[in-house]
Amino acid sequence: MIRLPKILIQVPGTSANLGPGFDLMGLALDLHNQFEFNFSKEITESKTELKNGKPLPFSEKEDLVHQSYLSYFKKFLPSVTPPPYHCKMSLSLPLKGGLGSSASAIVAGLSLAREVHKRLEPTSVPTEPEFTQYLAEFEGHPDNTLPAYLGGFVFAYSTFGERLRYFRKKFPSSVAIFVLTPEFHVSTEESRKTLPKSYATADVIFNLSRIGAWMHFLDKRKFGDLLVGLEDKMHTPYRIPKSSPLFPLAETFAKAGIGYCLSGSGPSLLVFLERKSVKTKQAELEKTVSLVMGEAKIPYSFKRVKPDGFGVRIQFK
């Protein structure tokens, strides 16, 4: 048996959709989940625990790190029994907060399996296109897993069994990003049920034009293009209806020329300001958020974040 090192994997959080890019666009953020994996001959079955000693916030069946780890071996190394590990996690991403906690677990599990594969049978390790294809297929759509793996802004698609296609860009430093995370959970599966089964042609064209505005923003770095690019008619109106506690904030942001979008299916929001206006607008922005969340009696966190340009980080000890 080959001796395996301690493997440390850090995966950034992600925000998917980014307004009009439903299941297509995602951005890595400098919020991270960390996973520490230990292997030894004394370990006979895999075990996952939190580094702080608290109980796991999910069941063994919901352990996506282990599920994806086993899945990799079934796909790429079926003749080998996956070596068991002990994993200690440090979680900074909220579960079901729309910030890619599930994607971070999948990226960690698949990345771990590939590192083990390199040491067991280095001649049969999948190519990078094969690995990223499987990474996209595991979750069903790549707008969370690809940014978590690659870092930066990623436009990616893989539909109807076709091969994965994507491109990656650096998010402009001229824009400041804030994350608002209300303390209530939204199930992605339940949230998708609120979406219509079909859309009006005009709404589809609207969203296509806004994706074009996103591309122009990434090229020219003008905040006005981002404000247009964040507009959406395919999922935001259904996930932030008038009955939502987030609706008053969305209206306020729109009137004040502040960019915002749901992070994934929510409830977290990304909020965007021109970096040069942060000093004059941040205090008012925080006051507005505090007022609306206070009236709704919803605890929340609100903080400034940066894009993560590195993606998954792997260390060995």
- CATH code of the domain occupying 7-170+307-316: 3.30.230.10
The two three-digit tokens of residue 282, written as one number = 């941040």
- CATH code of the domain occupying 175-305: 3.30.70.890
Q: For residue 79, which phi and psi values (nearest 5 degrees)?
A: -85, -5
Residues of the chain with pLDDT under 70: 1, 160, 186-190
Residue numbers belonging to the annotated binding site:
94-104
Please report the pLDDT score of residue 187 as a whole number.
66
Q: What is the pTM of this model?
A: 0.94
Please report the pLDDT score of residue 54 as a whole number.
84
Please report the pLDDT score of residue 200 as a whole number.
97
The two three-digit tokens of residue 210, written as one number = 């806004």
Q: How far is CA 71 from CA 108, 120, 256, in A?
A: 13, 16, 47
Residue numbers belonging to the annotated binding site for ATP:
94-104
Residue reference for tokens 């907060």:
97
Domains 7-170+307-316 and 175-305 share a fold: no
Please report the pLDDT score of residue 1 as a whole number.
61
Give residue limits of the domains in the chain.
7-170+307-316, 175-305
